[in-house]
């Protein structure tokens, strides 16, 4: 009986049975969307927090977390999004790689400079981050504290 219970609980922990999630997305922030009531954290990237500020190329403060979310929302628009679950995070969100109009959203956010490669979880987007940095795209046009450091209180 104990073995069956353990097996059952293990099966419940798999991310949405790895079934793709498809539909119109609502942007929560620069690295989180919601489709049909399911919160989805974009795998391997980290965008500024909603309340985070950064500095633009002229040294002026701007709400970079809000700007990242707006960039994502504007780019997705009302297009259908398809997400392939990879995991579930500690907050119960599905962690996924998502695509729309033939382009991977995770990669697009990093390449546009509105998110960084989240090296703690994946190195997949490091080349895209380096390209955005060289081109001075998005956050890289000015100065910013990496989102993970900002969350830890380095503000």
62, part of any domain: yes
Neighbour count for residue 123 (Cβ, 10 Å): 12
Structure confidence at residue 1 (pLDDT):
55
Domain range holding 78? 13-140
Using the predicted structure, report yes or no on whether residue 150 has a pLDDT greater than 80: yes
Q: Torsion angle of alpha carbons 44, 82, 41, 19, nearest 10°? A: -100
The sign one gets for the Cα dihedral 111, 47, 75, 135 is negative
28, part of any domain: yes
155, part of any domain: no
Q: d(Cα 103, Cα 128) in Å, to the nearest integer?
A: 14
Over residues 52-77, mean pLDDT: 97
- Read off the pTM: 0.87
Structure confidence at residue 6 (pLDDT):
43
In whole angstroms, how far apart are CA 77 and each of 13, 69, 103, 131, 135? 32, 12, 14, 25, 25
3, part of any domain: no
CATH number at residue 74: 2.40.50.90
Q: d(Cα 87, Cα 41) in Å, to the nearest integer?
A: 10
5, part of any domain: no
Structure confidence at residue 18 (pLDDT):
77
145, part of any domain: no
Percentage of the residues of the chain whose pLDDT score is greater than 90? 86
How many domains does the structure of the chain reveal?
1
Over residues 36-61, mean pLDDT: 97
Both tokens of 134, joined, read: 């060289």
Structure confidence at residue 12 (pLDDT):
47
**DSSP strand pairing (32-35 vs 94-100):** unpaired
76, part of any domain: yes
Over residues 33-46, mean pLDDT: 98
63, part of any domain: yes
């Amino acid at each position: 009986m104990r073995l069956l219970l353990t097996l059952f609980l293990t099966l419940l922990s798999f991310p949405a049975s790895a079934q793709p999630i498809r539909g119109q997305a609502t942007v929560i922030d620069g690295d989180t969307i919601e489709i049909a009531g399911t919160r989805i954290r974009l795998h391997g990237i980290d965008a500024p927090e909603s309340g985070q500020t950064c500095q633009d190329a002229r040294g002026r403060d701007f709400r970079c977390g809000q700007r990242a979310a707006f960039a994502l929302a504007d780019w997705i628009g009302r297009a259908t999004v398809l997400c392939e679950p990879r995991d579930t995070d500690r907050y119960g969100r599905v962690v996924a790689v998502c695509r729309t109009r033939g382009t991977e959203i995770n990669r697009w956010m990093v390449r546009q400079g509105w998110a960084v490669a989240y090296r703690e979880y994946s190195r997949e987007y490091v080349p895209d981050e380096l390209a955005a940095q060289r081109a001075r795209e998005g956050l890289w046009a000015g100065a910013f504290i990496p989102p993970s450091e900002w969350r830890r209180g380095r503000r």
